[in-house]
Amino acid sequence: APAAAAPAVVAAAPAPVITGTLVKVNVSLPEAAQRAAATGADGVGLLRIEHLILGLNKTPGWYIENGKEEEFIAELYGGIKTVLDAFPGKPVWVRTLDAPTDEFRNMEGGHDEPIEHNPMLGWRGIRRDLQSPDQFRLQIEAFKRLWAAGYENLGVMFPMVNHPREFVQARNMMQEWGVDVETATLGVMIEIPSSAILVEDFIKAGIRFASFGTNDLIQYTLAIDRNNENVADMYEPEHPAVLKLIAYAIKACRKHGIECSICGQAGSDPKMVTWLVGQGISSVSANIDAIPRIREAVARKERQILLDAARRNA
């Protein structure tokens, strides 16, 4: 009998890379870095530097006016480094300054801050930085030195963007100041409806990640002041318009392979997180105390998704 044909050699298909939904943590003060890292979180989805800066009790403008730029850079460098050191090899997204002008008013240098009727709609976030490059540059200098010191896990996130040109302008300024913008991890907060609607244009402009700032996204989508108790019961994270914007942006990010995350308070709510995992969000970032219950909610929803798929295919 003829020898049985040797079985065809079939190259093993590469195992599909399945990355579960990452659970990251929000950090506001470097003092909390160790406690945040002890949760075992997959990184920091939001490091708010304004608390670090507001704690200095002097405005960024004061440092510049008094020739103390190096002091300001050193404060930022040290504070951020503490957090990076607590999360070796894990991504840490540092957000550029996002404090409304009224929070600077009573500090040294505060008399130079503009007086605004609606500070939350005013000169804050990326708007302030693009219009005051001298203040923006001090922050970028701190990041640059951290990257130069080998902290490749540092990512930079721009708050309050409402048009892709703001991202492009910020990145161009960083390049001008010597940042290798091809390798730097730069992303944006999605916290104004315009940026959710234009998410694909942001992706085309080169963002590496996007993160929902739901505290503001809810406020600006529903026209509900997040700090006004008269309308607090209308501040509705699960309002269909908010969910529709978020679902739309997640879908766009998935289509283009861009990491999509959330760092607003809704990311600490198990119900909301369950829904977000169902939409295919890549990571969520929660408050330190919420990490265990968020991890549980993520695992539960992922298990359900896998079981549903397996049973459908059985």
Please, which residue, 175 or 194, has the CB nearer to Mg ion?
194
Q: Tell which residue, 8, 94, 89, has the closest CA to residue 48.
A: 94
Residues 121-140 that bind ligand PEP (CB under 6 A): none
Binding partner of 264, given ligand PEP, Mg ion, none, CB within 5-8 angstroms per partner class: ligand PEP
For the bound state, the minimum distance from the C-beta of residue 232 to Mg ion, rounded and expressed in Å, comes to 17
Residues 32-51 that bind ligand PEP (CB under 6 A): 46, 48
For the bound state, the minimum distance from the C-beta of residue 217 to ligand PEP, rounded and expressed in Å, comes to 7
Residues 183-222 that bind ligand PEP (CB under 6 A): 191, 213-216
Site residues for Mg ion per CB under 5 A:
191, 213, 216
Please, which residue, 113 or 191, has the CB nearer to ligand PEP?
191
From residue 250 to residue 289, the character string flagging contacts with ligand PEP as x (rule: CB under 6 A) and all else as - is -------------xx-------------------------
Please, which residue, 141 or 191, has the CB nearer to Mg ion?
191
- Joined together, the tokens standing for residue 162 give 């409402």
On whether the CB atoms of residues 96 and 113 are closer than 8 A, the answer is no
Helix (H, G, I), strand (E, B) or coil at 116: coil
Please, which residue, 51 or 163, has the CB nearer to ligand PEP?
51
For the bound state, the minimum distance from the C-beta of residue 165 to Mg ion, rounded and expressed in Å, comes to 20
109 near ligand PEP (CB under 6 A):
no
- Joined together, the tokens standing for residue 63 give 């440092």
Q: Tell which residue, 263, 265, 240, 260, has the closest CA to residue 250.
A: 260
DSSP string for residues in 168-209: HHHHHHHHHTT--TTTSEEEEEE-SHHHHHTHHHHHHHT-SE
Binding partner of 272, given ligand PEP, Mg ion, none, CB within 5-8 angstroms per partner class: none
* Ramachandran sector of residue 244 (left: φ over 0; alpha: ψ -120 to 50; beta: rest): alpha
Strand 283-286 and strand 209-212: pairing?
unpaired
58 near ligand PEP (CB under 6 A):
no
Helix (H, G, I), strand (E, B) or coil at 237: coil
d(CA 213, CA 26): 12
Q: Where on the chain is the footprint of ligand PEP (CB under 6 A)? A: 46, 48, 98, 191, 213-216, 263-264
